[in-house]
Structure 1
Amino acid sequence: MKIIVPMAGRGSRLRPHSLTVPKPLIPVAGKPIVHRLVADIAGVLKQDIEEIAFILGDPAFFGDDVVESLKELATELGAKASIYRQLDPKGTGHAIMCAEPSLSGPAVIAYADTLIRADFDLDADADSVIWTKRVENPEAYGVVNLNEKNEIIELVEKPTEFVSDQAVIGIYYFKDVGVLKNELQYVLDNNIINGGEYQINDGIKQMMAKGKIFKTGTVDEWMDCGNKTVTIETNQRMLNFLHADGEKLVADSAQIENSEVIEPCFIGEGAVIVNSKIGPHVSIGKNTKVLDSKVKNSLIQTNSLIKNATLEEAMIGNNAKFDGEFTRVSIGDYSVLE
């Protein structure tokens, strides 16, 4: 089994946090988004992963440190890492084709801006499985249209009339991803463009037209990391899940003095908490110091200094300094408020 991860986008909706760190590498509940996503997919598949192919953008932004972290992720899962580049953002279908040498055999394609919780078995009779989540407002999403056999016969973007309540979340399984590759090559060769870009859906539609069987795999939880507000919400939900799973969330090397920590919270290695009240639902990255502060439902990254603060629904980047009494803040890397 292979996992293909297109992650070349700059994450503009999550700025300023994605100005210096690619969005998929921003930690949520103590671990980068793409690391959690790939590990969770591997858990659902219940199969050995032989290769993980990452499609990155410009090397000036997705540099050697990014490549090394992704290679380490693949190694942790016993897989080979393959690195590809999408230097010209021409859409989801084009991004997949940038990994053309890896497009053979069974594979999962997962876009790295979402997290999941799921437990289901892949349908052995299906040529493809599109992972979905039941939603209350399907008109706001792309959804699947099912026939009487519960096979997907159509993908409908933001339907004005009810089609189904199963939204497409951006994770796909293909029994042979080479079939998708051939159809996407047809899309490219014939300049089939939607929204100004080459889309994966057009390759999927070609497969459906040729009688390939598509089924759904419904996830229990689908958590977005697209902007600051939903990323903080996702951090909260993920901390709840990890706490319920019994996962250790406070590093042994963290120093907590004269402070109260209300679970669930993630506190990274070398973090220092003094005279403060932390939690619930706070993630604090390694080597960050929080002094004389109250922080809840917030996400603070690494090597930052927070003091004299009362924070709620805050997201603070790496190497930042914050000293004050602001509350609803969004501070990027290397920012200073004193």
Structure 2
Amino acid sequence: MCLKELLIGPDATVRDALLVIDMHEISEVLVTDTRNKLLGAVSENDLRRSLLQGANLGDPVSDLIRPPMMTVGSKSGRAEVLDLMRALGLRQVPILDDEGHVEGLHIENRVLGVRKRPNWAIIMAGGKGTRLGPLTKTIPKPMLPVAGRPILERLVLHLVGAGIERIFLSVNYLASIVEKHFGDGSQFGCSIEYLREDPDVPLGTGGALRLLGELGYAPAEPLLLMNGDLITGFSVDGLLNAHADSGAVATIATSTYEHQIPFGVTECDGNELVRIVEKPTPTWEVNAGIYVIDPALLSRVPHGQLYPITELFVDCISRGERVCSWSLRDDWQDIGRPDELARARGQA
């Protein structure tokens, strides 16, 4: 299915509109001009009502066009759009650019019109989440719900909305729960496969990368790697494009971390006071747990042992290879501790 199949022009007939609706199981068909600018929508209910009132199948739909129930921009998160679709009982929502042209379409199990990325994504979803205590006794940390959806599902939907079609989930602790929920990924609009760690030999944030090659996979494009316990709407395009432009072998996404010091900070020259800064808020760029790495680096990951991904970057730097950072300016939150999870759920 392509986007054009779901659009009609203002001169289309009632029959044309009903054929699109019936063929693609949607509730309304979008009407656009020759430049793909949205003119409105025609709903299935309005079409059937017009027929009951005496309209003919060959009549134009022009009198039935009205504003669509909902539209979103290209930066709208897919998980949030699906939640709104479910709440409003919609089967599709158009994606518009700033001038009102149709760029794509959210439907239940895929996004149409979005530029597809050849890059594969790997999400690390095997940790025990011990810092969350009893919350992860019977459920893996990435499967904890936030706003009605597991954290890991939100990440998968975000990647799909950005054009990523092939995703690997690295699993270990309570892996069956993850695999049962996601299956082969088809209901989420992508292909999902699993990198299964030995439960007795945790591999850390980098060790599971070696499993790709051992399973016979050879990615041709840079890999997007991320932790599975993040709430984020980061720009997938922005990160991958920055990596491609930098000439680096690896790129680390960073987020700004602020910490307010609750005291007045003194600055002195020897024992002489120069100034006092009241309750300053210093900031640092911190590792956001999202990376892009060139496929050639996979062979450097050791087999079957705990290996933090940061060791790979240190190794690259020691070889004189370029490792870059990319400042993530979108929402980002790690939910590794109870207070962080509570904030993500709006409870703190």
Question: TM-score, normalised to structure 1's length?
Answer: 0.52
CA distance in structure 2 between the partners assigned to 1:180 and 1:67 by the alignment: 27
Query: Structure 2 residue aligned with 1:184, among 284, 301, 320?
Result: 301
Equivalent pair of 1:103/1:181 in contact (CA under 8 Å): no
Q: Find the residue that maps to 1:118 and give its secondary structure.
A: coil
Equivalent pair of 1:55/1:99 in contact (CA under 8 Å): no
Q: Find the residue that maps to 2:183 and give its secondary structure.
A: helix
For 1:71, the equivalent position in structure 2 comes to: 183
For 1:169, the equivalent position in structure 2 comes to: 288
Q: Cα 1:218–1:76, aligned 2, differ >3 Å: closer, same or farther? A: farther
Query: Structure 2 residue aligned with 1:95, among 203, 208, 211?
Result: 208
Query: Structure 1 residue aligned with 2:137, among 19, 22, 43?
Result: 19
- Once the 2 structures are TM-superposed, how far is the Cα of residue 97 of structure 1 from its aligned partner? 2.0
Q: Cα 1:125–1:208, aligned 2, differ >3 Å: closer, same or farther? A: farther
Larger radius of gyration: 2
Q: Cα 1:137–1:98, aligned 2, differ >3 Å: closer, same or farther? A: farther
For 1:125, the equivalent position in structure 2 comes to: 245
Q: Find the residue that maps to 1:16 and give its secondary structure.
A: helix
CA distance in structure 1 between the partners assigned to 2:182 and 2:314 by the alignment: 31
In the alignment, residue 112 of structure 1 is paired with which amino acid?
G
User: Is 2:170 the counterpart of 1:55?
Assistant: yes
For 2:191, the equivalent position in structure 1 comes to: 80
Q: Cα 1:204–1:21, aligned 2, differ >3 Å: closer, same or farther? A: same
- Once the 2 structures are TM-superposed, how far is the Cα of residue 85 of structure 1 from its aligned partner? 1.3
Equivalent pair of 2:207/2:307 in contact (CA under 8 Å): yes
Equivalent pair of 1:14/1:228 in contact (CA under 8 Å): yes
CA distance in structure 2 between the partners assigned to 1:51 and 1:199 by the alignment: 23
Q: Cα 1:77–1:85, aligned 2, differ >3 Å: closer, same or farther? A: same
Q: Cα 1:133–1:41, aligned 2, differ >3 Å: closer, same or farther? A: farther
For 1:223, the equivalent position in structure 2 comes to: 333
For 2:62, the equivalent position in structure 1 comes to: none
Alignment map for 1:308-327 (pairs within 5 Å): none
In the alignment, residue 198 of structure 1 is paired with which amino acid?
Y
After superposition, give the CA deviation of every residue in 1:99-150 in whole Å (9 maximum; x if it has no partner).
3344623221111111113336221223332111011249xxxxxxxxxxxx
Query: Structure 2 residue aligned with 1:6, among 96, 99, 124?
Result: 124
- Once the 2 structures are TM-superposed, how far is the Cα of residue 81 of structure 1 from its aligned partner? 1.3
CA distance in structure 1 between the partners assigned to 2:160 and 2:254 by the alignment: 17
Percent of aligned positions that are identical: 26
Q: Find the residue that maps to 1:53 and give its secondary structure.
A: strand
For 1:213, the equivalent position in structure 2 comes to: 322
Q: Cα 1:25–1:130, aligned 2, differ >3 Å: closer, same or farther? A: same
For 1:274, the equivalent position in structure 2 comes to: none
User: Is 2:344 the counterpart of 1:234?
Assistant: yes
For 2:313, the equivalent position in structure 1 comes to: 204
Moved more, 6-15 or 214-223: 214-223
- Once the 2 structures are TM-superposed, how far is the Cα of residue 95 of structure 1 from its aligned partner? 2.6
- Once the 2 structures are TM-superposed, how far is the Cα of residue 14 of structure 1 from its aligned partner? 1.5
- Once the 2 structures are TM-superposed, how far is the Cα of residue 208 of structure 1 from its aligned partner? 2.8
Equivalent pair of 2:224/2:291 in contact (CA under 8 Å): yes
Structure 1: any 5+ residue segments left out of the alignment? 139-163, 192-196, 237-296, 298-312, 314-338
CA distance in structure 2 between the partners assigned to 1:233 and 1:214 by the alignment: 32
Q: Over the residues paired in the alignment, what is the CA RMSD in angstroms? A: 2.7
- Count residues with an aligned counterpart: 197
Equivalent pair of 2:126/2:170 in contact (CA under 8 Å): yes
CA distance in structure 1 between the partners assigned to 2:339 and 2:133 by the alignment: 12
In the alignment, residue 53 of structure 1 is paired with which amino acid?
F
- Once the 2 structures are TM-superposed, how far is the Cα of residue 79 of structure 1 from its aligned partner? 2.4
Question: TM-score, normalised to structure 2's length?
Answer: 0.51
CA distance in structure 1 between the partners assigned to 2:135 and 2:212 by the alignment: 27
After superposition, give the CA deviation of every residue in 1:247-267 in whole Å (9 maximum; x if it has no partner).
xxxxxxxxxxxxxxxxxxxxx
- Once the 2 structures are TM-superposed, how far is the Cα of residue 40 of structure 1 from its aligned partner? 2.6
User: Which structure has greater helix proportion?
Assistant: 2
